Amino acid sequence: METLNPRILDVEYAVRGPIVIRAAEIEKQIKGGNHSFPFDRVIRANIGDCHASGNQVPVTYIRQFLAGCTYPPLMDSPDFPSDIKQKVERLLSVCGGKSLGAYTESQGLIAVREDIATYIQERDGYPADTSDIYLCNGASDGIKTVIKLLMNNDATKPSGIMIPVPQYPLYSATLSEYGAHQIGYYLDEDNNWALDIDELERAINAAKDRCTPRGIVIINPGNPTGQVLSRENIENVVRFAHKHRLFILADEVYQENVYLPGSKFFSFKKALMDLGAPFNQMEMASFHSASKGWHGECGSRGGYYELINIDKDVRVQVNKLISASLCSAAWGQAMMGAIINPPKEGEPSYELYKKERLDIVNRLKQKAELVSKLFNSVEGVKCNAVMGAMYAFPRIELPEKVINHAKSKNMAPDAFYCFQLLEKTGICVVPGSGFKQKPGTHHFRTTILPPVDQMADMVEKFRTFHMEFLREWK
Amino acid sequence: METLNPRILDVEYAVRGPIVIRAAEIEKQIKGGNHSFPFDRVIRANIGDCHASGNQVPVTYIRQFLAGCTYPPLMDSPDFPSDIKQKVERLLSVCGGKSLGAYTESQGLIAVREDIATYIQERDGYPADTSDIYLCNGASDGIKTVIKLLMNNDATKPSGIMIPVPQYPLYSATLSEYGAHQIGYYLDEDNNWALDIDELERAINAAKDRCTPRGIVIINPGNPTGQVLSRENIENVVRFAHKHRLFILADEVYQENVYLPGSKFFSFKKALMDLGAPFNQMEMASFHSASKGWHGECGSRGGYYELINIDKDVRVQVNKLISASLCSAAWGQAMMGAIINPPKEGEPSYELYKKERLDIVNRLKQKAELVSKLFNSVEGVKCNAVMGAMYAFPRIELPEKVINHAKSKNMAPDAFYCFQLLEKTGICVVPGSGFKQKPGTHHFRTTILPPVDQMADMVEKFRTFHMEFLREWK
């Protein structure tokens, strides 16, 4: 331990932290025949993992495409849809030896990058260049690469990156690993987690003595907070970033996950371009992932980022850096390609695809609405509307006695609460402190992924637990 | 550029460096109808990419397994081999929602880790523990993680890692990125790239003022050098590492690629265990990959490492660190699983598997022998035997005039040579300087992957070029 890289000690990642490790232990014990728990199964609401939720099967079109890429003789079957066959052949035609088993270009297969460019152009109304697009092993991999570029620490002043609070813990973990300074800006919980520009100014000014601010992360739709930023809000963030010469990291992995009627996703790229000069020359990266959306192919670790307005010498360096890991997984690239370029009306695989999509999307919408309603029905719990993404981040009022007790055990009060919740009900959620939160407030993050009936059941179990907990610790 | 992470400027990765970028440009121009080159296609001998070599198709068993995991309804066909079906079902039974689309455990799917443990036990005769095994996105990803653990730089003394010279450039690139010190030890070219313990002592002593040595990398079979270390040699390296308290990083990704009659692969783990106490308590990591072997599934980015004798508190930190990237790609894990646990005699898919394996392995053996013979037949070229791996690393004598000319252009002399070779013949190889080499010597790395007829043709083209080059620069 005394020679271990000391920065690793500072890394924290609550989404797979001690509570989740304990949940896995309990699951193993139950599977092994231990009936001593006051529940018969663990409800996994800790991670945005659609397929694992037991509520969602993979999309036929996506898996047929990937199976065809994997083992092309399959396509000789007359049952194999002709549109998918064409797509497979196009993809394999740009692979070395027409095999996904060859290394790809370091930026990713050109056919996939072409499809991503088309998707972005259709989304924003502005062209995208395939040489700006980088496939990666999940958005996490891309985010770590881009943050790495911005690290220019010196002995007296590390690089600083602005991150929302609450945030997704990949950011705090990565900044710890790189020895960078986290400049937290608070989202406004009383205003449905809105992003306030005055708060950005406060945060950057407070941090300037301790670091050199280099970038700002925005997660939109929000994780763990589920808000969807308005176009005006995004434009003000762009102006702020321009004023302070910050590189924009737009974490837009939930761009397809918008539920609240009237809410709409606007990309940071579109905001930059709409604003015109000088904003449309700002450097930024936008991240997307195969793991989220409604298809939820997390295990593929497919993802990409678009790097916009990067200096040409810097681009040479980026391309060199990523080439040292050769390329991202070709299967993940193929997955990202399948997701970004779905069947079109009239194509043989369209009708089934449309039906499967509607089923999943409707369920997600229903659950997004249900979850905040259910939690708000519990005394002492306040839950903002889930406008997008896959999570609710309810606030819980904890008695002073709990807070003191947890502190005496060197635990965050909400971590103590979540451990108790797990041990008594089998519900596994992530403590708000793992995402950071305003001092003195307490939360947890739950996904909206369990099936509707399980979710109602989960909230009832939660209600009983919460009431007893408050009684016990009053 | 002035705010870019300065360590990235130091990163170099020749396997995808300027010559390879130029080769891709030429290929594009030829494809676009440009006939001004004195050749009609580029011969890609720069990278160990079996499928892209145009000489090798994927193994049926591996791809059927992966297609079944991807799209399980395929297995309803009576043509789907029953042994593969059983394997698919076993793998999916440990996936969330029985889908490869779920995140896996951060260390990787337990079924794959069980198969890897069995493979290691059968290889070494010592048990392997599934909790010591970590799946990763290609060996590169695992190597970077383990080196990260060893980074304990302070302002005056960075961590130092011993690497062979010549080395695989992932190591120098990673150490540059992490700000660590490279302690190069020379392999003995005159003695078929043997690893000399006196040279290890010289290297570590020479570096002790500049860094704190923390680990030693050994690549066996060697890349780019193709040697296979003897058991005695390995044991002496273990003793050396023990004396200097170095963490052993055993890059054993070519463990299935041994060609020379009489050569045999011994793992570092087996050496540690055979030596008994205190050596069998040393910390080490061994890396393996789905990309190499004879099946060459590079695009999957499947890989694993076994971490042996790690302190239990350090293990908690490792597991936390990798959890922040969630997990490696499930398809790459499945690929690694397929490779490590092939069909057994008597199983339905065995006969075809055996035939395909023999075909490929025999061709590789044939080419390994052929390539050194061919290069040694060229005047001024000396090439050691290719005992294993996928490469030859011939030495070329360059005239003083070339060396001075290259230096005046701020180029390594062998890089200048390889650029000329590419422009005149279309042969794309990697300059030896990209792997480092003894000062004053010049080499290039070529793979043994092109088809036999192409390889003979390639060496003839090379011979003509080389003779003309020497005449021109005498």
Using H for helix, E for strand and C for coil, what is the string for B427-458?
EECEEHHHHCCCCCCCEEEEECCCCHHHHHHH
Residue A313 CB-half CA count within 13 A: 7
Instruction: Say yes or no for a CB contact (<8 Å) between B101 and A298.
Output: yes
The H-or-E segment that residue B320 falls in is: helix B312-323
d(CA B226, CA A376): 66
For the cut 90, the answer to whether the pLDDT of residue B17 exceeds it is no
The closest CB to that of B299, out of A5, A47, A330, belongs to A330
CA angle (A274 as vertex; A272, A280 as ends), nearest 5:
40
Whether residues A172 and A232 share a domain: the answer is yes
Q: Which of B301, B336, B360 has the highest number of chain A CBs within 10 A, making it the mutation to test binding with A?
A: B301
Whether residues A147 and A232 share a domain: the answer is yes
CA distances from B224 to A105, A228, A453, B15 (A): 21, 51, 59, 11
* Residue A222 domain flag: yes
Q: Enumerate residues 309 to 368 of chain B having a beta carbon within 8 A of any beta carbon in chain A.
A: 311, 313-314, 317, 320-321, 323-332
Whether residues A183 and A308 share a domain: the answer is yes
Cα distance from N-terminal residue to C-terminal residue, chain A: 41
d(CA A213, CA A414): 31
Instruction: Give the β-pairing of B159-165 and A247-251.
Output: unpaired
What would the pLDDT profile of B152-178 be if each residue is shown by its tens digit?
887 788 999 999 999 998 999 999 989
CA distance A99 to chain B (A): 6
Instruction: Say yes or no for a CB contact (<8 Å) between B51 and A3.
Output: no
**Secondary structure of residue A323 in the 3-state scheme:** helix
Asked whether the beta carbons of A159 and A151 are under 8 A apart, the reply is: yes
pLDDT recorded at residue B346: 97
pLDDT recorded at residue A333: 98
> B146 is written with which tokens?
């383990």
CATH number assigned to the domain comprising residue B468: 3.90.1150.10
Maximum distance among all alpha carbons in chain B? Answer: 69
> Which are the contacts of A63, defined by CB distance < 8 A and separation ≥ 6?
B70, B71
What would the pLDDT profile of A133-152 be if each residue is shown by its tens digit?
999 999 999 999 999 999 98
Please name every residue paired with A247 in a beta bridge, in sequence order, or none if there are none.
Answer: A215
- The residue out of B281, B312, B340 marking a domain boundary is B340
Residue of chain A minimizing CA distance to B177: A321
How many domains, in total, are found in chain B? 2
What would the pLDDT profile of A28-61 be if each residue is shown by its tens digit?
999 999 989 999 999 989 988 999 887 789 999 9
d(CA A251, CA A409): 35
pLDDT recorded at residue B268: 98
Whether residues A381 and A336 share a domain: the answer is no
Instruction: Say yes or no for a CB contact (<8 Å) between A299 and B99.
Output: yes
CA distance B19 to chain A (A): 13
Instruction: Say yes or no for a CB contact (<8 Å) between A102 and B298.
Output: yes
For the cut 90, the answer to whether the pLDDT of residue B6 exceeds it is no
Whether residues B108 and B184 share a domain: the answer is yes
Residues in chain B: 474
CATH number assigned to the domain comprising residue B333: 3.40.640.10
Identify which has the larger pLDDT, B345 or A15: B345
Q: Enumerate residues 269 to 298 of chain A having a beta carbon within 8 A of any beta carbon in chain B.
A: 291, 296-298
Q: Which residues of chain A have pLDDT under 70?
A: none
Instruction: Say yes or no for a CB contact (<8 Å) between B51 and A96.
Output: yes
Residues of B within 8 A of A102 (CB-CB) are 49, 51-52, 298-299
Average pLDDT, chain B: 94
Cα distance from N-terminal residue to C-terminal residue, chain B: 41
CB pairs under 8 A between A and B: 244
Whether residues B306 and B179 share a domain: the answer is yes
Whether residues A113 and A148 share a domain: the answer is yes
d(CA B146, CA B249): 8
Whether residues A396 and A321 share a domain: the answer is no
The closest CB to that of A323, out of B13, B99, B155, belongs to B13
Query: Any chain A CB within 8 A of the CB of B137?
Result: yes
CA angle (A31 as vertex; A30, A33 as ends), nearest 5:
65
* Residue A86 domain flag: no
Query: Any chain B CB within 8 A of the CB of A244?
Result: no
Residue of chain A minimizing CA distance to B303: A329
Instruction: Say yes or no for a CB contact (<8 Å) between A57 and B99.
Output: yes
The closest CB to that of A141, out of B11, B97, B325, belongs to B325
Domain residue limits at B420: 6-56+360-473
Whether residues B224 and B314 share a domain: the answer is yes
d(CA A75, CA B191): 52
The H-or-E segment that residue B185 falls in is: strand B181-186
CA distances from B255 to A7, A290, B55, B115, B258 (A): 33, 34, 21, 17, 7
Alpha carbon A404 to its chain centroid, in Å, reads 33
Whether residues B203 and B123 share a domain: the answer is yes
Instruction: Say yes or no for a CB contact (<8 Å) between B3 and A99.
Output: no
The question of ipTM being above 0.90 is answered as yes
Whether residues A32 and A121 share a domain: the answer is no
* Residue B401 domain flag: yes
Identify which has the larger pLDDT, B11 or A447: A447
* Residue A114 domain flag: yes
Over range B329-339, report the average pLDDT: 97
Residues of B within 8 A of A325 (CB-CB) are 138, 140-141, 144
- The residue out of A281, A308, A340 marking a domain boundary is A340
* Residue B83 domain flag: no
Type of residue at B420: Q
Asked whether the beta carbons of B328 and A19 are under 8 A apart, the reply is: no
Q: Enumerate residues 150 to 209 of chain B having a beta carbon within 8 A of any beta carbon in chain A.
A: 150-152, 155, 169-170, 173-174, 177
pLDDT band at residue B103, thresholds of 50, 70 and 90? Answer: very high
In this structure, what DSSP letter does residue A467 have? Answer: H
Residue of chain A minimizing CA distance to B109: A299
* Residue B327 domain flag: yes
For the cut 80, the answer to whether the pLDDT of residue B331 exceeds it is yes
> Which are the contacts of B19, defined by CB distance < 8 A and separation ≥ 6?
B46, B415, B418, B419, B422, B428, B429, B430, B431
CA angle (A192 as vertex; A189, A195 as ends), nearest 5:
75
pLDDT recorded at residue A393: 95
Query: Any chain A CB within 8 A of the CB of B4?
Result: yes
Residues of A within 8 A of B151 (CB-CB) are 5, 7
Whether residues B111 and B46 share a domain: the answer is no
Residue of chain A minimizing CA distance to B171: A324
* Residue B277 domain flag: yes
CA distance B59 to chain A (A): 10
Instruction: Give the β-pairing of B133-137 and B302-308.
Output: antiparallel
Type of residue at A90: R
* Residue A92 domain flag: no
